Structure 1
Amino acid sequence: MTVPEKRDTVGAKRRRMPWIALVLLGVPVLAALLGPWVAGDAAPGEGALPSQPPGAGHLLGTDVLGRDVLALVLQGGASVVGSALAALSVGMAAGVPLGLLAAGPRRGLDETVMRALDVLLAFPGLLVLMTLAATGHRERFWLVTVAGLLQVPAVARLVRGAALAPGSRTVVEALRMQGHGWAYIHLRHLARELAAPLATDAGGRFSLVLYLLASANFLGLGLPASSPDWAVLIERNSDALFTQPAAVLVPAALLTALCVGGNLLVDRALAHRRTRS
């Protein structure tokens, strides 16, 4: 194969990748957005037996409690995507201001902020969630808030590093000499400079948050066992994997597609930025 042919093959693969990523990401996202509107009643019907394989009455069979798996899957996507987005928003909302604060002209403040974040960074995520569950805080609010706060150190470090880049510092010093205040410099100039790296990081960080929340729910540290959340469904029906695999494989496939599709889109965005720069 000649060099031009190899380039054409690589280019064709790159052109196909966004469509693959969009399909992988689009299916679980559409299920999360539209599922609650079209899902039927998941409660066990008359004569419904636990862990029944797919059939005429239940297209994906029933779970260990006799509930309709298809209805549960359609209802559980909103919990997965909504919780991950909420936790990501918490991490961004707290991490961006702290990163800008650390990148300011006061060296002592930089050290204080970053060393405090290093302490938070040292705590394993699942260990923190285990402690949270042991104290009885299993509500979605606590799960999302703590998962979001665990992302703050990484987000703050990214913002601080981008704000302290030589190019950014030169412009910032010039703006200071012109008499512009903190709000103008940080909210107008640096906000534009940080938009691209933050958007790229958010795409990859969404998968990390999703993995953390799904792991917590799978281990029984998060939502109650009656929740239709996809990770909870996997955990509840894992013992019936060989008798009713759809109750485990369908939500697992949706979680996998959500993570893989998001990562492929982020990789594509990074490759596009490299080719443009």
Structure 2
Amino acid sequence: MTAPEKAGCARTGRRRRPWIALVLLGVPVLIALLGPWAASAAPSAEGALPSQPPGAGHPLGTDVLGRDVLWLVLHGGASVLGSALGALLVGMAAGIPLGLLAAGPRRAFDGTVMRGLDLLLAFPGLLVLMTLAATGHREWYWLVTVAGILQIPAVARLVRGAALAPGSRTVVEALWMQGHGWAYIHLRHLARELAAPLATDAGGRFAVVLYLLASANFLGLGLPASSPDWAVLIERNSDALFTQPAAVLVPAGLLTALCVGGNLLVDRALARRRRGR
């Protein structure tokens, strides 16, 4: 293959990547958003034999409780997407101000904030969720809140590191000397500097949060066993993987597509931003 042909293939590959990312991310997101509405045309969720393969009346078969898998998949995405986004927002909403506080001019705050966050970072996520479940706090909002709190140390460290970078500190010190206030420096200058690393981290952290929440639900620490959540479906039907694989592979594939598609889309957006600069 000649050099121009290779270059053409590379350009074609770059053009296709956004569509791959959009499809991977768009399918589970659309199912999560529009699934409950579309489920009105799906078969009834109950009344069939358990672990039946796909067939007439049940396009994806039934699960171990005799519920229609298609109906469950259409209803299970909302809890997955909502919980992961909620936990991510909790982590970033608390982590960004703490990181900026640690990177501020008062160095005493740096040690106090970061040592406190190091203590939180030492707790294993699943162990915390197991303790939460053992105390009877199994409601979804407890799960989302605790999963979000566990992300605060990593987000704060990222923000602090970006704000303390040599280039950022030079400009910040110059702005302080010019008499600009905290809001101007942090909400206008540093916000632009932090946008790219935060966007990159958000894509990867969404996958981390999704993995943590899915693991909790898979281990029975989160949502009840009757929930149509995709992770719960995988756990409930794992024993029937070889007799009714659709009940496991379909929700597992949607979870994978959600993580991979989100990361690819963020990477593509950042690459375009760098080329624009």
The interval holding the TM-score normalised by the smaller chain is over 0.9
State the partner residue of 1:224.
224
Q: Indicate conservation of the 8 Å contact 2:45/2:72, yes or no.
A: no
| Conserved? CA contact 1:42–1:72, under 8 Å | no
**Which has the larger displacement, 261-270 or 1-10?**
1-10
Any conservation in 2 of the 1:52–1:63 contact (CA below 8 Å)?
yes
Greater CA drift, 126-135 or 87-96: 126-135
TM-score (norm 1): 0.94
Secondary structure of the corresponding residue to residue 269 of structure 2:
helix
**Mapped partners of 2:125, 2:44: distance in 1:** 32
1:181-231, Cα deviation, whole Å (9 max, x unpaired): 212221222222222221222122111111111111111111100110000
Alignment-derived partner of residue 65 in structure 1: 65
For residue 97 of structure 1, what is the aligned residue in structure 2?
97
Q: Structure 1 stretch 253-262 or stretch 71-80: which is displaced more?
A: 253-262
CA distance in 1, matches of 2:100, 2:132: 30
Establish whether residue 263 from structure 1 lines up as the match of residue 256 from structure 2.
Answer: no
1:123 positional shift = 1.5
Q: Tell me, what secondary structure is at the counterpart of 1:228?
A: coil
Structure 1 residues 75-111: Cα deviation after superposition (integer angstroms, max 9, x where no partner) = 0000001100000000000000000000001111101
Partners of 2:212 and 2:110 in 1: how far apart? 29
Q: Aligned equivalents of 1:270 and 1:6: distance in 2?
A: 24
Greater Cα shift, 178-187 or 149-158: 178-187
Alignment partner, residue 185 of structure 2: 185
Q: Which whole-Å CA distance do the structure 2 matches of 1:131 and 1:233 have between them?
A: 23
**Deviant stretches of 4+, over 6 Å:** none
Matched, 1:150 2:141: no
Distance 1:237 1:190 in 2: 48
- 2:74 and 2:212 mapped to 1: Cα distance? 21
Say if 2:197 is the partner of 1:197.
Answer: yes
Alignment match, 2:45: 43
Please provide the CA RMSD for this pair.
Answer: 1.6
Q: Which moved more, 1:59-68 or 1:28-37?
A: 59-68
Match of 1:85 in 2: 85
Deviation at 1:270, TM superposition (A): 4.0
- Aligned equivalents of 1:187, 1:130: Cα separation in 2: 38
1:50-85 CA distances to partner (integer Å, 9 max, x unpaired)?
A: 111111111111111111111110000000011000
Residue 260 of structure 1 and its aligned partner are, at CA, apart by 1.3
Cα distance in 2 for residues equivalent to 1:273 and 1:179: 31
Mapped to 2, the partners of 1:42 and 1:206 lie a distance apart of: 33
CA shift for structure 1 position 39 = 0.9
Q: Given the alignment of the two structures, is residue 15 of structure 1 paired with residue 15 of structure 2, yes or no?
A: yes
Which segment drifts farther, 130-139 or 20-29? 130-139
Amino acid at match of 1:256: T
The AA in structure 2 aligned to 1:39 is: A
Distance in 2 of aligned mates of 1:108 and 1:99: 13
Amino acid at match of 1:249: L
Q: What is the deviation of 1:240? A: 1.1
Q: List runs of 5+ in structure 2 lacking aligned partners.
A: none
Match of 1:117 in 2: 117
1:169, 1:116 → 2: CA distance? 24
Provide the rounded CA distance (Å) in 2 between the counterparts of 1:274 and 1:7: 20
Q: Is the 8 A contact 2:237 2:248 kept in 1?
A: yes
1:29 Cα deviation from its structure 2 partner: 0.4
How many residue pairs match? The answer is: 275
**Which residue of the partner structure matches residue 54 of structure 2?**
54
- Tell me the alpha carbon deviations over residues 143-175 of structure 1, each in whole angstroms, 9 at most, x when there is no partner: 101111111111111111111122221221122
- TM-superposed deviation, 1:246: 1.0
Q: Is the 8 Å Cα contact of residues 99 and 156 (structure 2) preserved in structure 1?
A: yes
